[in-house]
Structure formats: C-alpha cells, structure tokens
Structure 1
Amino acid sequence: MTGNSGTGKTKLAQLYGEYISDGEKRYLMVPVGANWTEKRHIFGYLNIMTGKYQSTPALDFIRKTREDPDNPYLLILDEMNLSHVERYFSDFLSAIESSEPIPLHDNRECGFEQEIEIPENLIVVGTVNVDETTYMFSPKVLDRANTIEFETTNPKKYLTDQPKQELKGNLRFLENPLNHNIETAKIKEDLNPILDQITDELEFFYKELKGSGFDFGFRVVNEILSFMHAAWIYQGKPQEWNNWKRYFDAQIKQKILPKIHGPERLLRDTLQKLREHCRGKFPNSEKKLEEMEETLKVQRYVSFIR
C-alpha cells in the first residue's frame, strides 16, 4: 500500500488484521528499520557466542501461523521501503517463487529448526512512503504484489463527505482469503465467457510495454485472472460478466502500471498509447496515466509510485 503519510495505510492494514482475527489476534505489525540489510531482521540468526538461535517477532509469528493452517494470519511490514526490500526480504521472495523452505542455520545441536516453509495462510502487507529516506522497488518485488495507491483528499471533501455505504457482496468469501486458493484451470473455466476479451487486453499491454522493457510474465497474468475471479465470486457469481472491465481496470493499476518508470524519451509515446487505449473503458487506469504524463512533462521522469 503506497501513498502520502497520513492517508490511512497502516490503519487500514491493522483494521483488516482485526477483522480476520475473530476474537484471537492473528496479525502482527513489524516496523521496518532503516538499517535492515539482511534476512536476520525477519528470520533471526544463530548466536555464535551462545550457540542458540535468536528468533524475532516476525519469525515467531510465522511459526504460529504454521500451527493454525485453517485461519489466515496477517504480517504487516510498516514502512517496508525504509531499507532495500530485496536485501532483508529476498529469502521470502524466493520462497514464494520456489515453494522451497527458507534455511535458517546449519547447527543441528542448537535446538531450533534449521529451515522453515512459508505457510499458505500467511498474508503479507507492506506500507510504503516515498521520500528522500526511502528506496524504490525492483520488478522482482512488484511482480509478487498488488500495489494499492492511497490518494490524498482535500480537507473540504474529507470533512463534508457522507460515510460510504456498506459492502453488499459476499463478505463471507472475503473473511477467509484461503478461499481464494483456486486452481488456475478452474478459474479459466469460470472466466470462459470473457476469456478472449481478457486475452486481447493482456496482449495489448504486453506488446506496448515490451518495447519499453516493462513486459510481464505468466505470474502476473495468473494473478490478474485470480483477482478477477475473486471479484466475480464476491459479487455473487453473476451469470453476465457485466463488471469485468471494472475488475480488469483495478488490475491494470495494481499489477501492470506499477513497474513503469523512466525518462521522457523512453515513456512519452508509451504512456500516451496506454492512456488512449484505456479511455472510456478503464477510468481509474486512464486517470493514473494522465497523472503520470503530466509528471513526465514537468520533471522529464516519472514512476508509478510517487
């Protein structure tokens, strides 16, 4: 989750953690330090002086998550880009890709497990601020996440707007994210009425971004389909896929556009083509692309995360 300080990123993550806790706390907030350069800040280390393994709150939480596989657990990394994510979180990112356990130590006599697998019921949320004290993300990180942007609201709108209506979809489906673990083949089967249209859209974005070096792989495609399928279930599995463009619009902004960054000479034509393609179909993505174009004109450089 990215946005200016004070826009509610951390609070929303905490509220979601409380929502899924159901009487027993099933979330942990870990403030990321500016000096985190290796995995020990998350996964601990073997103390060579004592011969014992020094665990961390995050590792203890992951172990607790593993012992309760039927319920979701939320690990919140607050201000996760105060340090290079690729340094302190690289083992976790690799484990997501390979499904292999993460090695912790090689001392069989210390009495602590030598490796740990990432439980499927563990959800990781990171809050992100962008300023002179923080670091940007590599494609390796962005490929494995949905980037949700929190926009600022002017004071008048904030003070006078009426509270939003309550959600009207299938809340029970959202209560346990483990319900989202559906095989890709089943997702494609359910998406079949609109699969050709989605394929055409994905092909357009792939070709346009490949020329600028921001093309994407099958992981992004599968996660986009998974998101759209989950949104469809949340809305009650309507027979007509009338809202598929709304679902896809969210994924353009959360999965495809965040990787884009660079100078005007590289991105001017690309952003224009993407914006024109989104016009009238994908309003949220169109608005974001307009903002990026304006930034590019003024600063001669732009990135999705500001």
Structure 2
Amino acid sequence: MTSFEVDSLEGYALAELRREWGYEPDERIVVIGNIRAAKLPDGKTIYFLEDLKHASSFSSLRYPHVAINGSHSAFIGPVLPQGFDLQAKYLWALAELTLSPKKEREKHKNPYQCNVVRGTLRPLSEMPKDWHFTVRGPATVALLETAVHDAIMARANKSTASQIASIKAKLNVEQSNLEAASSALARALSHQATADARLADTENQYRDALRKLDLQRDKYEKEKALMEARLSSLAELAERKGERLHALGLLDADDLKRLRDPHPPAANGLSLAEAFDGDFSRLAPHVQAVLWSRNLMYTQDRIRNFLALTRTSDLVILAGDSGSGKTSMVKAVAQALGAICEIIAVKPNWTGPEDLIGYFNPVERKYQSTPFLDALLRAEADPNRLHFILLDEMNLARVEYYFADFLSYLETRDRLPEIPLFTQDEERHVLMENGIFLSIEQEARLKAKLDEGATIEDLLTDETANNFLTLFGGFKNTESILAHHARLRRGLSGVLSTRSTLSFPANVRIMGAVNMDDTTHSLSPKVLDRAHVLRFDNPFLTDWEAIENEIEPLELTDALQILPEEFGARTDYPAFDRTLPAAEFLARLARVLDPLGVEFGYRAIRQGLGYLQGAQEAGLTEREALNNIILMKVLPKLTLDLGRVMPDGRPRREQLLALRDLLAEEFADDLDYLDDSCVQRLEGLAATADANNGLASYWVR
C-alpha cells in the first residue's frame, strides 16, 4: 500500500476493513461467498456475493458498524463471467474485494461497502489442497458443488467448535449450582447486561471511528488541496511547467502545443440545418446523386436505410461477398457527409480485447495502442465531425472473442460508455514524479545560478547543479540521473499519448464488413442479437436503369459536414409498448420464432423500435422499416435443420412455413415494389433448403 493510499480516506477505510476482518495490511481481501441474483424493477438482473467468509480462516465477515440486519454483501454487477451454472444448488465463488465507488458508499451509508474486483470472480469448482473431503461414485458437477458447500460449512463451523464447547461447559457448571428458574433468570440478566455493554462499547467505538474519520478527512482534504495547488492535472503541469519540461527534454514541442491548445478543428462544410433546414429525409437523395456522380450506384432505399442505421449508434454489420460494395459504400457516404472513414483491418489471430484496444506495458510504462484505439482518439479530438470506424474482414477472427467487451460498451445507452485502459495510479505517479523532479532541479538551478532555459545537459555539466541533484535527488547509490530522466520521459509520454480511461466519443459509429464463406467464422447469436446486419448482393444483379430514374438533380454543390448531433444523440431504446401496432407485430413474430430455437427477445425488439424511429426520420415508411428489421435482425439468425422436430413433435419445416405465412399476411402486397422483400427472402430460403438436404440458412445460396 502506498503512503498516498494510507493517507487517503479510501486508504483509511481499506486499512480499517483489513484490520477488522483479519487481513494483513498489504494483503488482498480474498473472500468466499454465495452468489445471489436480484431482480430490478425494470426487469434487469444484478448479482451480489453474500455470506462472506475469510478465504483462509473461514470466519464470517461483516462490515464494521453496520447493523446485524443490514446488508453485508458485495456487489458483483449485471453480468456473471462464464463458468457459473445458475441452476446449481450451491453457487459458491472466490473473489477479491475492493471499496465501492464513493457514491455507492454514501448511498448505502456504509463507508466500507465493497464491490467484487472485475475479473477475479471464479466458481469454487476446485477444492484447495488443505480441504479434506471425499466424493464417492461418479464425480459429477452436482456432487462436487454439494461437497464444496459441505466442506465450506464444516470448515467454518470448525473455527467456532472450541468456543461452543467452552460455553456449554460453563453453562453446565452454572446449571449444576443453581436452580433451574433462578439460573435461567440469571443467564437472561447476564446476557442482557453483556448486550448492553457491547452496545455501549460499539457506540463508543463508532464515535471514536467517526472522530478519527473526521480528522483523517480534514487531513486528506488539506493534503488534497495542497497537492491540487501544486499539481492537479497534466494540463496544469503543462501550463505551469511546460517550458521547463520542454527545456529538460521531458516533453516534446508538439505535445506541449497539444496540451495548451486542445481546441478541435472547426467545421468546413454545410451542416444539415444550413443545407436542408434540418430535414434528415432530404439527405438520402443528395447522397445518392453525389455517389452516382462518382460512378457508385445504390438505390435510394438502401441509402436511406444506411443513414437510419447510423442514427441508432448500434453496431452495423455489412455482409456480402468480396466486391459487393460494402466498404465502398461506407467510404463514399462518409465523404459525401463530410465525415471521416477509418478502415481497420482485422487479423485472423485476434483472440481478446487487447488485440482491439491495446494494453499497458508496465516495463516501458506506456500503453501499447492499436489502430482502432488511435481512430477513437482521433475522433475524440475532432468532435465536430462524424467518424465511421469500419472493421474490415470483421469475422476473420471470432467476433465474440475480441469484440465482447466492446459489445457491452455499445449496450450502454443512457450515457457515453467509459472504456478503462489502465489504472489511474499510473497517471498520478507520473505527475508526482515529474513534479518532484522539477522542484529539485529548480533548487539545483538556483544554487548554480542557471537561468530558466537551462537544459538537462546544462545541469549535468555544472558541478554545483550536478552535486545538488545527486545528493537531494537520491541518485548517489541508485540509478543515474540520466536513467531517471529517461524513465520520467517515457512515463510522461505514455500518459500524454493515452489516458487511463477513454469516454466513447459521441461522434463515432462502429461498423463491420464480413464475408460469409468457408474462410471466415460465422456470427454468433450474441453478436447477431446486438447488431443490424445489412446484406449486399452481387452488384451486377442491380437494376441500374431503375436507379438512374431515381436520381434527382443536386440541390447544392457546396460540401457538407453534417454535425454529429444532427445524426441523433445516444439515448436508451424505446420502451416496449404492446399497444403500438409495430411492437405487437414484433411480439407475434417472436412467438413464432421461439419454437425454431431462434431468440428474438426484448432487447432485439426494443432495438428494432429504435431503428424504426430513425428510419422514418430518414424518409422510409413504417412498412419499409419493419421489412428492414426482419431482413437485418431476424433472417440472419436462421440456420435450421428442417429434418429435426420441435419440442412439441411437429417438424420444423411446418413452423418455417408458418413464419412465411405470417409475413405474407402482414405485408400482403405492400413490398412488391421493393428490391429486397423479407417475404421473398424467406421463400427463397425455404426453396434452397429443399435442394440442400433440409438445411435452411439465410447465408446459403
């Protein structure tokens, strides 16, 4: 534990908690507990770790100064890691705890409230070597879980066995010397007195703790104010000491300029309000005409659909064969809108989130960035312009492996998601180290009578300055001044290039281009459930004359730069209101899909309703938008073996035809004029299945 942590309010609370729970001052707080799920009013589920026990002594753990009937659990979060069977009789787990965020502790009026450290929760499916028990017969998971539970309870009870035996012995002595009635009364009075004494002692301890906490808080606030007065942020460091950092070679001129002048570039084109009076539906004809002038031909409905998808802030996947126009469309539309399009090539060996957003290298004290993260940072520095980030060949690697964390970030709708890159302690350490070095070198310059422009070479070649730095900087028997200087420079460069936490830029839209063939991975249900899949067919099947008949004369020749806020803000999906015709139809659709094993739940329906709003603003009718929802959210999930039967014994083919009948009845002849109809697609899928040994797949032709 650092001195800064001990002096801080959180550090005091952690130290107090370790002392109360029997952990060493520097020991991680590793506990055993039972997982409990809790339903929130909005239907979501969150998880807690309860019945907390010391991982070594198995003593029960309760928060200091919290009532017995109060909450003594640790918050896990809305998602459990893989490996937990929620149907198991016992759901024990090992985890490391840390303090909850300040707001949560204040909310629960518990300064010691803890959360489970992310990534440390794991099921207690392996018994430590010092736990002794026997499982006879087939060692099934159920037997192992029961044995784990029994071993935990036996180990916990063992620690109190001697105390129970001692108490029973004393009670037997008292009962043998006193009559039954007077003995019971005496014990009751004794227990009452003990309880009163303990209550009084607890109240005194609580008051003492509050006094200590107040003193610690005052000390912390004073130290915090002093620290903030000296050095509060990188910006202040650059403002106050930028020239010295540059002169000493710790900071480049470009970095200094960027810190002092972080103003984003101004827009250099017409906004939607200036070009089309804010009417989003007038944007598609203009974009179509611009693309046609560049020999790129897309139907107006396709462009309206693409623009509507950009308003959702969801993951958009463009699927089709190589050369079908996926990447070309994204780049061309971005250029027509005055947006930036960044193409990120996915590699087949990507297996985790670090391949997407990088990782912190503790040796170099620098974050190893990636092209994807660099694109996010460029978008953050350019907030007045839209940025499309396209993951090209997205499914060359398994999307659910390297993109899982980002899928979770994109699900955050009520605010801009925060992307943690590395611990904030590294930033604080860099600021403190540079601040201390600047203070020492200032004294060295004064002693040597050097001016403000003195470089590190001037300090080292001046005997007085060099001796002062060596003596008061602690370099006499440790690393050299030059080595320390190099380490400071690396650390400062690292935190300047990448902050510890990145707020997902509001002007970014994430897209992916995929090829569905034998060289790529299929998209998992988890990915399909959270994305909109826009399919591209062979461009030579396009009716080019029909597209040319749609082209309207350009209303303006000036360049556009549509502002990000004109594409809509990141908001929560619409609530499911079954009284709305569109919501009621999608719910009926979900009931037909369920026997086929195709999930189309609340998230997908609410996501579809969010798209429906953006599609109508882009100029599509409600019927056209519903057709697109089925094409993008339902049909891509269909990969069925029609030779199998459903749980009720009926053949799957019968249910697939029922789905076709539902769509045909719902849309009747409404979609005959469209190039891409969900009814025609489903009929083609069923016909292909007959010639493909009963395999019905949206992706098989």
Does the Cα contact within 8 Å between 2:361 and 2:367 map onto a contact in 1? yes
Aligned residue for 1:148, secondary structure, equals: strand
Counterpart of 1:240 in structure 2 is none
**Aligned residue pairs: how many?**
289
Kindly indicate whether residue 543 of structure 2 is the aligned counterpart of residue 139 of structure 1: no
Q: CA deviation at 1:86?
A: 1.1
- For 1:10, the aligned partner's letter is T
Q: How does 1:272-283 map to 2 (within 5 A)?
A: 272-279=657-664, 280=668, 281=670
C-alpha change, 1:14 and 1:153, in structure 2 (3 Å) is closer
- For 1:257, the aligned partner's letter is L
Kindly indicate whether residue 606 of structure 2 is the aligned counterpart of residue 222 of structure 1: yes
Stretch moving more, 97-106 or 211-220: 97-106
Q: How does 1:1-306 map to 2 (within 5 A)?
A: 1-21=318-338, 26-98=340-412, 100-106=417-423, 108=426, 109=430, 110=491, 111=495, 112-154=498-540, 163=548, 165-166=550-551, 175=562, 178=565, 179-181=567-569, 196-235=580-619, 243-264=621-642, 265=644, 267-279=652-664, 280=668, 281=670, 284-299=677-692, 300-306=694-700
Does the Cα contact within 8 Å between 1:2 and 1:129 map onto a contact in 2? yes
Q: CA deviation at 1:97?
A: 2.1
Does the Cα contact within 8 Å between 1:91 and 1:102 map onto a contact in 2? no
- Coordinate RMSD, CA, aligned: 3.2
Does the Cα contact within 8 Å between 2:349 and 2:397 map onto a contact in 1? yes
C-alpha change, 1:176 and 1:302, in structure 2 (3 Å) is farther
Q: CA deviation at 1:182?
A: 7.4
Q: CA deviation at 1:211?
A: 1.8
Does the Cα contact within 8 Å between 1:21 and 1:27 map onto a contact in 2? no
C-alpha change, 1:154 and 1:73, in structure 2 (3 Å) is closer
Stretch moving more, 126-135 or 221-230: 221-230
C-alpha change, 1:29 and 1:164, in structure 2 (3 Å) is farther
1: CA distance, partners of 2:632 / 2:326: 15
2: CA distance, partners of 1:235 / 1:38: 39
1: CA distance, partners of 2:330 / 2:619: 23
Q: CA deviation at 1:43?
A: 0.7
2: CA distance, partners of 1:10 / 1:285: 24
C-alpha change, 1:76 and 1:153, in structure 2 (3 Å) is closer
1: CA distance, partners of 2:527 / 2:551: 33
Stretch moving more, 211-220 or 34-43: 211-220
Does the Cα contact within 8 Å between 1:20 and 1:176 map onto a contact in 2? no
Query: TM-score scaled by structure 2?
Result: 0.38
Q: CA deviation at 1:62?
A: 0.7
Residue identity over aligned pairs, in percent, reads: 28
Counterpart of 2:140 in structure 1 is none
1: CA distance, partners of 2:330 / 2:604: 23
1: CA distance, partners of 2:695 / 2:569: 39
Stretch moving more, 139-148 or 78-87: 139-148
2: CA distance, partners of 1:254 / 1:149: 8
- For 1:272, the aligned partner's letter is L
Q: CA deviation at 1:66?
A: 2.3
Q: CA deviation at 1:195?
A: 6.0
Which one scores higher on RCO, CA 8 angstroms, separation ≥ 6?
1
Q: CA deviation at 1:114?
A: 2.1
Q: Deviations over 1:31-86 (max 9, x none)?
A: 11111112222211223442221112211111222234343211011110000011
Q: CA deviation at 1:103?
A: 2.5
Q: CA deviation at 1:119?
A: 2.1
Does the Cα contact within 8 Å between 2:420 and 2:501 map onto a contact in 1? yes
2: CA distance, partners of 1:175 / 1:301: 45
- For 2:418, the aligned partner's letter is P
Q: CA deviation at 1:222?
A: 2.4
C-alpha change, 1:294 and 1:167, in structure 2 (3 Å) is farther
Does the Cα contact within 8 Å between 2:337 and 2:562 map onto a contact in 1? yes
Stretch moving more, 47-56 or 76-85: 47-56
Q: Deviations over 1:163-188 (max 9, x none)?
A: 352379x99xx955643337669x78
- For 1:286, the aligned partner's letter is V
Q: Deviations over 1:187-227 (max 9, x none)?
A: 78xxx9x9632133112111011222223233322222222
Does the Cα contact within 8 Å between 2:506 and 2:564 map onto a contact in 1? no
Does the Cα contact within 8 Å between 1:42 and 1:59 map onto a contact in 2? yes
C-alpha change, 1:164 and 1:120, in structure 2 (3 Å) is farther
Q: CA deviation at 1:136?
A: 0.9
2: CA distance, partners of 1:7 / 1:86: 25
Q: CA deviation at 1:89?
A: 1.1
Query: TM-score scaled by structure 1?
Result: 0.82
Gaps in structure 2 of 5+ consecutive residues:
1-317, 431-490, 646-651
2: CA distance, partners of 1:20 / 1:142: 28
Stretch moving more, 212-221 or 100-109: 100-109
Aligned residue for 1:143, secondary structure, equals: helix
- For 2:347, the aligned partner's letter is G
